[in-house]
Structures are given as structure tokens and as C-alpha cells.
């Protein structure tokens, strides 16, 4: 087994406690457990969930923490029972880093709802570092057509976006609220499947609206605007509860409104008439490995432009700040190998 290079330490960006900047530190390279692989990270996406963790909107689970659950890298070592990958294989590490494998949810294929899950970059250290250990059973082989930087955003924005998209069934007119990393991937998937995409951004964000049109949206406008057509379904990627009644008001009877984020501000009360007509409001939680296999098979078939915006590992605080401020389109990706 090739030993990791140098002195057994690596650079990592550590979150000591919420609402403090991440701290660049040199820490020991993790030892892979029996079912784990050790991955040398080349690229790791920055997800809105990382912002919720860094800002304390999700309660801390460990300290210090290495965030990052869109990690791409190469297997450099593995535990005795880890057999899915070989040394040198490229893998992706997603948000679902492990599940108990025996609760009622795990036993019925709903491991995304596991009672005692282990999330990457939250319960266990993730990819804001030069190396990460991950349970091989929850990692993915990645479609060859994407290089590491372009593959990273597929691991959460793509994958959980796809799970949310799958919940909209055969809806033809699809509204996307919040046009960030997940929406821009799903807009392309929806368009390639012959659907009409309506993109709703924060009011006045004409740059994101233009970006949505470039990716094939038939309409793009402010989230405060009425949709030009009644929507068959909507996915809310922005963490704003006020968008739930807004999206319901934009839909036709029988429509589903999917809340795709892990955190959302309170949903204001709204008239029952908005829900009437067999409309459905639901959330989407996490991912299953089956979601990943389905999504990556699709991503190999169609060309998804993930529009990464690259940052060096030590620029993670700037990447988070710019994501918070909505300063770029596409997806921020850290490059720990730089």
C-alpha cells in the first residue's frame, strides 16, 4: 500500500465553532478504518449546507470539523474490508457518509432517512482538506466525461437536486426558486428531458436571470413576480420559507412544491386556497446510494455544464462569503491539491 506522502500530516480548513472563520491548520492524515478508503482530495465543492453549518443554523456535531461533502479525489489507501475501489481509482464522497444499515428506514431502502446517519463534513470530517477517509460503501465512481473540478458540484448540488427533481415526476412546466449550483444543474437536466424551466431569483438579480436563460430557461424573473404560466411543479432551493406560499400560488392544481434545502426560514401562514386542489408541499432529505447511481448514469449520458468557480483550499472563507452574498453563478469548488 503506498503510504501517504511526507510527514503524515495534511493541510485542512477547520471549523472550531459556528460564526468563526475557518482556520487553516496542519493535522494528521486520517487512518482509514476497516471499511474506509483514504482519498487524496483534488476538488471539493462548497455547498449551501456548509454555510448553514458555519453559521450555526445547523447545530454543531463535532469540533473542530472539516466541512465539505462534494469531495473528489483518488484512493491512496484502504482498510482491510474496503473492496469496492482499488488504489488509484477516482471516487466522489457525498453528504451521506454512512447509515446504520438496520433501522426501519435503512431496511426499506430509505437510508436517506436513517435514524442515526453519518453525514460527511458534519458528523465526520469531509473534503476541505488534502485527504479524507470515507466509508467506501457510500462513495461513488464518477462519470469519466467530467474532470475533478467539474464533477465536484455533481456530488450534492447535482445529486440532491436530482432527488428533488425526481419528486416532480412528469411535470412539464417546472419552476426553480433560487438559481444557484443545484438549480443550474437541474435546469439542464430538465431541459434535456424536454421540460420548460421557469427560473425565479432574488429580486433584481438580473445576472442570475440571464444565466438561467443561457442554460435554457424559457422564462427568468424575480421570485416576487407571478409566473407567466401556471407551473406543474416547483423546487425551492433557496432557504426562504416565504417562497413556499409564493411557489404554491404559481402552480396549477395537483402540483408538487419540493423544498430541497436542509434548512429553511419559517414558512409564513397562508390561505388554505393555495394548497387546495390536491397540491402537495414536501421536503427532500439527503440522498440514497440508489439516487447517486441513477444520477451519475444520467450525467454520463448528457453533458451537464457545472460552471465551477475555483478557490484554493485556504480561500475557503472567501468562497463561503461569496456564496453567502450570491456573488457568482455556478458552484464554488476548493482545490486542495493546488
Query: How many residues make contact with Zn ion (CB under 5 A)?
Result: 8
Cβ-based nearer residue to Zn ion, 27 or 103 = 103
* Residue 286 C-beta: closest distance to Zn ion, Å: 9
Beta bridge partners of 177: 200, 236
Interface with Zn ion, residue 42, by CB under 5 A: no
Q: Binding to Zn ion (CB under 5 A): which residues in 145-164?
A: 156
Q: Out of 4, 22, 38, 49, name the contact with Zn ion by CB under 5 A.
A: 49
Interface with Zn ion, residue 286, by CB under 5 A: no
43-51, 118-126, 193-201, 328-336 -> range binding Zn ion (CB under 5 A): 43-51
Interface with Zn ion, residue 14, by CB under 5 A: no
Interface mask toward Zn ion for 61-100; x: CB under 5 A: --------------------------------------xx
The pair phi, psi for residue 301, each rounded to 5°, is -75, -45
Cβ-based nearer residue to Zn ion, 49 or 256 = 49
Cβ-based nearer residue to Zn ion, 134 or 246 = 134
Residue among 174, 130, 140, 199 nearest 338 (CA): 130
Cβ-based nearer residue to Zn ion, 93 or 133 = 93
Cβ-based nearer residue to Zn ion, 117 or 143 = 117
29-37, 48-56, 165-173, 288-296 -> range binding Zn ion (CB under 5 A): 48-56
Query: Rounded to an integer, what distance in angstroms lies between the CA atom of residue 189 and that of residue 162?
Result: 9
Interface mask toward Zn ion for 95-124; x: CB under 5 A: ----xx--x--x-------x----------
Q: Out of 22, 44, 47, 139, name the contact with Zn ion by CB under 5 A.
A: 47
Interface with Zn ion, residue 189, by CB under 5 A: no
Interface with Zn ion, residue 252, by CB under 5 A: no
Q: Exposed e or buried b for every residue in 214-245, given b needs 16+ CB within 10 A?
A: ebebebbbebeeebeeebbbbbbbbbbebbbb
* Residue 117 C-beta: closest distance to Zn ion, Å: 7
* Residue 181 C-beta: closest distance to Zn ion, Å: 9
Burial of 8 (0-12, 13-18, 19+ CB in 10 A): exposed
CB 257 within 8 A of CB 244: yes
Give the residues lining the site for Zn ion (CB under 5 A).
47, 49, 99-100, 103, 106, 114, 156
Amino acid at each position: 500500500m503506498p503510504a501517504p506522502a511526507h510527514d503524515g500530516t495534511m493541510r485542512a480548513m477547520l471549523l472550531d465553532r459556528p460564526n468563526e472563520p475557518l482556520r487553516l491548520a496542519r493535522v494528521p492524515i486520517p487512518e482509514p478504518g476497516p471499511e474506509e478508503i483514504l482519498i487524496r482530495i483534488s476538488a471539493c465543492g462548497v455547498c449551501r449546507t456548509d454555510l448553514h453549518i458555519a453559521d450555526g443554523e445547523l447545530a454543531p456535531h463535532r469540533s473542530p470539523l472539516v466541512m465539505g461533502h462534494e469531495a473528489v479525489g483518488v484512493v491512496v489507501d484502504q482498510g482491510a474490508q474496503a473492496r469496492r475501489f482499488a488504489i488509484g481509482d477516482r471516487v466522489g464522497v457525498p453528504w451521506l457518509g454512512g447509515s446504520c444499515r438496520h433501522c426501519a428506514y435503512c431496511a426499506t431502502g430509505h437510508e436517506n432517512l436513517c435514524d442515526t446517519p453519518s453525514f460527511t463534513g458534519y458528523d465526520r470530517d469531509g473534503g476541505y482538506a488534502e485527504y479524507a477517509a470515507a466509508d467506501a460503501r457510500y462513495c461513488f465512481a464518477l462519470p469519466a466525461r467530467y474532470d475533478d473540478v467539474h464533477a465536484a458540484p455533481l456530488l450534492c448540488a447535482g445529486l440532491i437536486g436530482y432527488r428533488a427533481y425526481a419528486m416532480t415526476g412528469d411535470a412539464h412546466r417546472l419552476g426553480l426558486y433560487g438559481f444557484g449550483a443545484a438549480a443550474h444543474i437541474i435546469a439542464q437536466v430538465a431541459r434535456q428531458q424536454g421540460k420548460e424551466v421557469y427560473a425565479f431569483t432574488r429580486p433584481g438579480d438580473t445576472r442570475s436571470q440571464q444565466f438561467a436563460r443561457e442554460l435554457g430557461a424559457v422564462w427568468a424573473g424575480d421570485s416576487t413576480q407571478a409566473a407567466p404560466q401556471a407551473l406543474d411543479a416547483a423546487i425551492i432551493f433557496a432557504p426562504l420559507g416565504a417562497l413556499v406560499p409564493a411557489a404554491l400560488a404559481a402552480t396549477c392544481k395537483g402540483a408538487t412544491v419540493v423544498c430541497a434545502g436542509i434548512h429553511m426560514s419559517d414558512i409564513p401562514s397562508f390561505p388554505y386556497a393555495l394548497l387546495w386542489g390536491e397540491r402537495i408541499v414536501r421536503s427532500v432529505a439527503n440522498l440514497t446510494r440508489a439516487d447517486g447511481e441513477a444520477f451519475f448514469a444520467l450525467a454520463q449520458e448528457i453533458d451537464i455544464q457545472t460552471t465551477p468557480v475555483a478557490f484554493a483550499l485556504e480561500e475557503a472563507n472567501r468562497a463561503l462569503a461569496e456564496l453567502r452574498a450570491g456573488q457568482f453563478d455556478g458552484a464554488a469548488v476548493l482545490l486542495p491539491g493546488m
